[in-house]
Amino acid sequence: MRPFFLHISVPRLPHVSCIADRFVRSVSFNLTFVSRRAPFSFKQYYSSATMGSVPVATPRVKVFIAGGSYGGLSTALNLLDLGDGLAPRMAWEPVEHHPDVPRVDYDITIVDERDGFYHTIGSPLALADSDYAKKAWVKYTDIPALQKPNINILQGSLTHLDPATKTASVLNTTTQLASTHNYDYFVAATGLRRVWPVVPQSFTKKQYLLEAEEQIHAVGNARDGVLIVGGGAVGIEMAAELKMVKPDVKVTLAHSRDMLLSSEGLKDDCKLKAAELLKEGGVEVLLNHRLASKKKLESGDGITRYEVEFTNGHKMIVNDVTMAISKSEPSTSYMPKSALDEEGYIKINPDLTIVEGTPNASSHYCAGDACKWSGIKRCGAAMHGGHYSAYNIHQSVLASAVNHKAVRKELQEVAPMIGLAVGKQAVASGPDQDTIWGEEVLKLYFKHDLGFTICWDYMQLGGKKEVEVAA
């Protein structure tokens, strides 16, 4: 996800700024509630729950979630809260539980290629600082909130989804064995597939740390400097974080247009301020510089050097060239074509269900970067989508179990906005606010660790907090 600020205009939602994946911070969501009956079929079993002397069937519902990042974990944890008769951890308003269905037994399976949660927003720093790299990846077995008997985490790839039969096929990463899983509800939260070095390509924390250390060593020992190509949010953050961590390394950011962040519909003063903050931090900024060629040079001292040339004729010698311009693609190859647009994004309704045209569409959801929705891709929006997916699934379960009229939450359109970390400062801008910047803005939107603590606490990965929103 990328940096942008998500300032949801409700008192209980904390600032959740993000970086390394296009991620907006300060989006005012005007929530709309729509009544809709949602058909659903699942097996019900009796438990000890009673209303007076009449036993009440406690629904048991299988939910399969593809992706264990911001959207996937938010869906799972908010759903467990609702099933336990609690207010979902991301709620900022009272939640009334149905008196006839005080609990729902959710059986949740999460499949992810990685063996842990990776804070994508922190990638620019994780690939420049060894200590932060260790913090940015937390194995699922080390996340307290996930140590529940009704959460099963599989490390593998979702290879095929059959919405008609509600079955998911998974290829285990370690054993390379295939397995099939039945579900009542499915949530796609696989996000975008990003290239190296925007994000690490490893699937285990152990391998990731080796991958990160190799990159850190390469850029940290660059006597002739490092060139970062691409002046979008990722490139800006990578250049700024590297220069902050390695102040003695010459860092150059080259961009093909006359202004940074040129592909984003942001205010010009925000784009200009981002360039200004980079220069203040010691990064050399080259605008109107499109890379034409990169040639590895032979040297007798064992040091890797490249000669790079731009289309305007400018040449320079550097030790490392980092490309930050690759277009990320939705990781949705497992979905039927009927659910995808021409770019591979999952087409959704405002309530996050996939659009009609796919069997059992109302039982299939998408949260996070993989969905086709307005706004810059960001972790704040992914967590917001996970919360809403959980809430709407629970409403559908209630509607199927008892005579309940489902009241569903819907997404609103999101305008371009951003909260961008630039070394020791940050810049933030949105359609309804002036561009702001400085060290205090960095603290507000990212705290001290590029949003890791903000996201960890918001999802309550360390365990659910006792404070509840009373109904």
* pLDDT score at 4: 37
CA distance 328 to 194: 5
* pLDDT score at 466: 63
Nearest-CA neighbor of 21 among 382, 267, 346, 359? 382
CA distance 396 to 35: 11
pLDDT in tens, the chain (471 residues): 544 344 333 333 334 443 333 333 333 333 332 333 333 333 333 343 444 434 458 999 999 999 999 999 999 999 999 999 999 999 988 888 888 899 999 999 999 999 999 999 999 999 999 999 999 999 999 999 999 999 999 999 999 999 999 999 999 999 999 999 999 999 999 999 988 888 999 999 999 999 999 999 999 889 999 999 999 999 999 999 999 999 999 999 999 999 999 988 899 999 999 999 999 999 999 999 999 999 999 888 889 999 999 999 999 999 999 999 877 899 999 999 999 999 999 999 999 999 999 999 999 999 999 999 997 888 889 999 999 999 999 999 999 988 888 899 999 988 888 999 999 999 999 888 899 999 999 999 999 999 999 999 999 999 987 654 444
Nearest-CA neighbor of 389 among 112, 106, 166? 106
- Cβ pair 268, 303 in contact under 8 A: no
C-alpha distance across the termini of the chain, in Å:
34
Q: Write b or e for each residue in 380-390: b if 16 or more Cβ atoms lie within 10 A of its Cβ, otherwise e.
A: bbbbbbbbbbb
Retrieve residue 404's tokens. Answer: 């309940």
CA distance 272 to 284: 14
Residues 6+ apart with CB under 8 A from 431: 415, 416, 417
* pLDDT score at 118: 98
Q: Residue 349's CB: how many other CB atoms inside 10 A?
A: 18
- Cβ pair 40, 415 in contact under 8 A: no
- Residue 279 phi/psi, 5-degree rounding, is -65, -40
* pLDDT score at 56: 59
Half-sphere exposure of 69 (CA within 13 A, CB side): 28
Distance from chain centroid for Cα 392:
20
3-state per-residue secondary structure call for the chain: CCCEECCCCCCCCCCCCECCCCCCECCCCCCEEEECCCCCCCCEEEEEEEECCEEEEEEEEEEEEECCCHHHHHHHHHHHHHHCCCCCCCCCCCCCCCCCCCCCEEEEEEEECCCEEECHHHHHHHCCCHHHHHHHEEEHHHCHHHCCCCEEEEEEEEEEEECCCCEEEEEECCCCCEEEEECCEEEECCCEECCCCCCCCCCCHHHHHHHHHHHHHHHHCCCCCEEEECCCHHHHHHHHHHHHHCCCCCEEEECCCCCCCCCCCCCHHHHHHHHHHHHHCCCEEECCCCEEEEEEECCCCCCCEEEEEECCCCEEEECEEEECCCCCEECCCCCCHHHECCCCCEEECCCCEECCCCCCHHHEEECCCCEECCCCCCHHHHHHHHHHHHHHHHHHHHHHHCCCCCEEEECCCCCCCEEEEECCEEEEEECCEEEEEEHHHHHHHHCCCCCHHHHHHHHCCCCCCCCCCCC
CA distance 369 to 411: 14
The model's pTM is 0.87
